[in-house]
Chain A
Amino acid sequence: MGVLLNQKEGQKVEIVELKGCSNFISKLYKLGIKEGVKVNIKRKSNICPILLEVNGSIVAIGRGMAAKILVRGI
């Protein structure tokens, strides 16, 4: 368990908790990033946002936001 920002590229994780204001949560919900959803970490580097595969679509998440998403490895 840890935040999304600290995970490795290529890992498959399950979203456990979204820590942030309700505006932040709504934004993620709309793109299908919700508690219990399994995502693939497609791309992660030291500068760019994190690239996730969520139910077939590719979503970029800013690093600041990725630090507020709690995930569990599967």
Chain B
Amino acid sequence: MRELILVGQPNSGKSTFFNALSGYKALTGNFPGATVTYQEGELNLFGRIYKIVDLPGTYSLIPQDKAELEAKKFLVKHKDATIINIADSSVMARSLELTIELIELQRPMVLALNMIDVARRKGIVIDIEKLSKLLDIPCIPTSAKRGNGVIDVIRAANKNKIPENSITLKFQKDVEEIIHSLAKHIPEKAVKDLNIPKRTIAIRLLEEDLYYLKVLEKYNKEIDLQLKIAKEKLEKKHGKEAKFVIAAERHNLAMEIFEQVTTFSKSEHVVSFGEKIDNFVLHPILGYIILIAVFYGLFTLIFNTGAHFEALILERFDALSKLIESEISNKMLSLTLIGLVQGVGGALGIALPYIVPFLIGLAILEDTGYMARIAFLADSIMHKIGLHGKAVVSFVLGYGCSIPAVMAARNLENTRDRIITASLSVLIPCSARTVVIFGLVGYYIGKWYAIGLYIINVLVVGIIGRVLTKIDKTLAPGLVLEIPEYHMPVLKNVLIKTWIRIKDFITVVLPLLIIGSIIMVYLEHYSLDTVINSALKPLTVFILGLPEKVGTTLIFGIFKKELSLMMLFQALGTNNLSTVMTHSQMFVYAVFTLFYIPCISTIPVLYRETGKKATMYVIFGTLILATILGIAARFVGAIIF
């Protein structure tokens, strides 16, 4: 089976290309780095079967973040695959730098000049034939969004054209000489194993590509010395670090090719429609007003849709539980079934109605290109916390569900930012905690107290962020982010993307919900809750001043946060909480639930993204934080209520 690997820079339309071809799973996004892991699909075209892989977008093959390293490893290891390089034709000069890096690998390759329509609109005319000759690979104009040219790319891939005659791709003479002298010392065996030409390996070594340095270590220790000599020579002659000499050479080469093959049909700069929109969207005052309006609209939509479906679905499941209770006499079977029904009902009735519209909204924000603009607007605020604009994506996601929020932290370049952002994002009230805030504080105490809790939450997240970034003083580079053009979102892409994220939720969260619900039903049935309640008494009664019976609800809140409120009615045996809890107690309870331990579904994801140590800190740290804030709420409550 032929293997095709899609490689391209972020926002080049790579995932859209993938979706246009296979209709298989692929994440597409306009936010740089939306494809966090690679996607695979199978394609049957003219009777041939292809395996097609969509790698995470990468600006260069010299990895700088986790996503780029993934792309790089995969590419080098799949020696026999054909590379399909997707380039954004409207930013050809920069795209060509990655193309040159790929050509250096000397593997079968095709260049897809994607978004050719956008380029034309901008007045950029590309001499495709000439480009094809210069690079010695087939170059195909495409518009993946409209499905134009994608099949031609696959046809061209069948040629298995290795760009061996791309003789124009040579650096300056003296640089080439140094590369050549280093290349001589690279052992034949390494060249054979890597299946990459000597010259390319030498270039990568000069660029300090850790992947190659590590591989080469196995063969020849002497290479270190030779590399040092070559680097010194380059640095002496050009006055900057060797890796930047190479990067500059490649840049010049790309510019040279770009100038040879492109002409501009429009001489004057025409203000595009997107730029006109940006005059408002990126405006230092209006921009924030629009931002607030967008979120207000999004959340209103989510809550209205969610509430509608919640009532509808829960009704059915309640009826089903009652039916089981009355019809099945076997206690064991009936308890297990009730737990099962409640678990599935909780997921379908409470979680999904809020999460699905949220994810669709989010996918639209990403695909239109607005998400990158949010990062732009939020940069200065995020700087106050010690992070930069891109971190805001995790926080925005956090209002929906902590799981995608933690996962989105991958987009950040350095480990420190990644861990801090992921840890902070679990403190953001997710849709489940929103149920507690509105259902308890909003309903019984008042709407403004609920809104007040959101404000307190933002302040606490800010302060904790400030403290964390102060503890780890690693100098974090600021925001450097491409702001993509606006795009009309494609329904298919939005749906595929939502589906993939929902699938994550279903496979990770649903089983836990079911198990949790079954355990809960049994605990209740055998009255084991009293044991838990008395064990938790020091915290609940003495420290927080809550009724003893809330103990179990806090434990189940770890399974799923909205359960704590539902259980509260059950545990206290009432339909009107104001008869058994004071306003002050409700306030303390809500504050505690808002901040304590992330739910059991978030913990494994947090572990995967940040490691054991950080996860432990988050679990115990949030518990301590919630207790402290709970005590504070108790004092404040005593004064204001």
Residue ranges of A at the interface with B (Cβ–Cβ < 8 Å)? 20-35, 43, 45-49, 51, 54-65
Are A62 and B243 neighbours in the complex by a CB distance under 8 Å? no
Given A30-B59, A51-B282, answer yes or no on A59-B480 (Cβ-Cβ < 8 Å).
yes
Interface string of B362-382 (1 = CB under 8 A from A): 000000000010011101100
- Nearest-neighbor residue (CB-CB) of B375 within chain A: A60
Chain A nearest CB, measured from B291 CB (Å) = 12
Cβ B91 vs Cβ A60 within 8 A: no
Interface positions of B from 52 to 67, Cβ below 8 Å from A: 59-60, 62, 64
A45 touches B376 (CB 8 A): no
CB nearest to A67 among chain B residues: B478
A34 touches which one: B247, B278, B282, B283 (CB < 8 A)?
B247
Interface of A is mostly: mixed
29 contacts between A and B (CB under 8 A): A24-B477, A26-B64, A27-B413, A27-B477, A27-B480, A31-B59, A32-B97, A32-B251, A35-B248, A46-B284, A49-B479, A51-B483, A55-B93, A56-B91, A56-B92, A56-B122, A56-B124, A58-B484, A59-B481, A59-B482, A60-B379, A60-B389, A60-B480, A61-B478, A61-B479, A62-B383, A62-B479, A62-B480, A65-B477
CB < 8 Å neighbour of B244 from A29, A60, A65: A29
A70 smallest CB distance to B (angstroms): 14
5 new A-B contacts, CB < 8 A, other than A23-B477, A46-B284, are: A57-B91, A60-B479, A61-B480, A62-B389, A65-B479
Q: Taking the complex as formed, is B431 at the interface, i.e. its CB lies under 8 A from any CB of chain A?
A: no
Does A21 contact B482, Cβ atoms closer than 8 Å? Answer: no
In Å, the complex CA distance between A26 and B431 comes to 39
Please provide the chain B residues from 552 to 580 with a CB less than 8 Å away from any CB of chain A in the complex: none
How many chain B residues touch A (CB < 8 A): the figure is: 43
Q: How far is the CA of A46 from the CA of B385 in the complex (A)?
A: 18
Bound complex: CA of A57 vs CA of B282, how far in Å?
Answer: 16
Smallest CB separation, B600 vs chain A (Å): 37
With a cutoff of 8 Å between Cβ atoms, the chain B residues found around residue A32 in the complex are: 93-94, 97, 251
Among B64, B282, B377, B383, point to the contact of A64 (Cβ < 8 A).
Answer: B383
Q: Tell me the B473-490 residues at the A interface (CB within 8 Å).
A: 475, 477-485
Check A31/B282 contact, CB under 8 A, given A26-B64, A57-B482, A60-B481: no
Shortest CB distance B61–A (Å): 11
The complex places the Cα of A43 from the Cα of B483 at a distance, in Å, of 12
CA distance A63 to B480 in the complex (A): 10
A15–B280 alpha-carbon span in the complex (Å):
28
Closest to B88 in A: A57
- Given known contacts A21-B475, A56-B122, A60-B481, A29 and B91 CB-to-CB distance under 8 angstroms: no
Contact indicator B60/A63 (Cβ below 8 Å): no
Most chain A CB within 10 A, of B91, B380, B483, is at B483
Chain A residues in 8 Å Cβ range of B410? none
CB 8 Å contact bits of B88-108 with A (1 = contact, 0 = none): 001111100100000000000
With both beta carbons as reference points, the residue of chain B lying nearest to A62 in the complex is identified as B478
Q: How far is the CA of A22 from the CA of B62 in the complex (A)?
A: 13
- Pick from B64, B94, B287: contact of A27, CB under 8 Å: B64
Q: Give min CB distance, A65 to chain B, whole Å.
A: 4
Give the residue of B90, B284, B484 whose beta carbon is less than 8 angstroms from that of A45.
B284
Contact call B241/A62, Cβ cutoff below 8 A: no
The answer, yes or no, to whether B388 is at the interface (CB within 8 Å) is yes
> Residues of A contacting B248 with CB < 8 Å?
34-35
> In whole angstroms, what is the CA distance A9 to B413 when docked?
28
Partner of A56, one of B59, B90, B383: B90
Contacting residues, chain B, for A49 (C-beta < 8 A): 376, 379-380, 389, 478-479, 481
A27 to B282, CA, bound (A): 23
Rounded to whole Å, the gap between the CB of B31 and the closest CB of chain A is 13
Q: How far is the CA of A1 from the CA of B92 in the complex (A)?
A: 29
Which residues of B in the span 238-296 have a Cβ within 8 Å of any Cβ on A?
A: 241, 243-244, 247-248, 251, 278, 282-284, 287
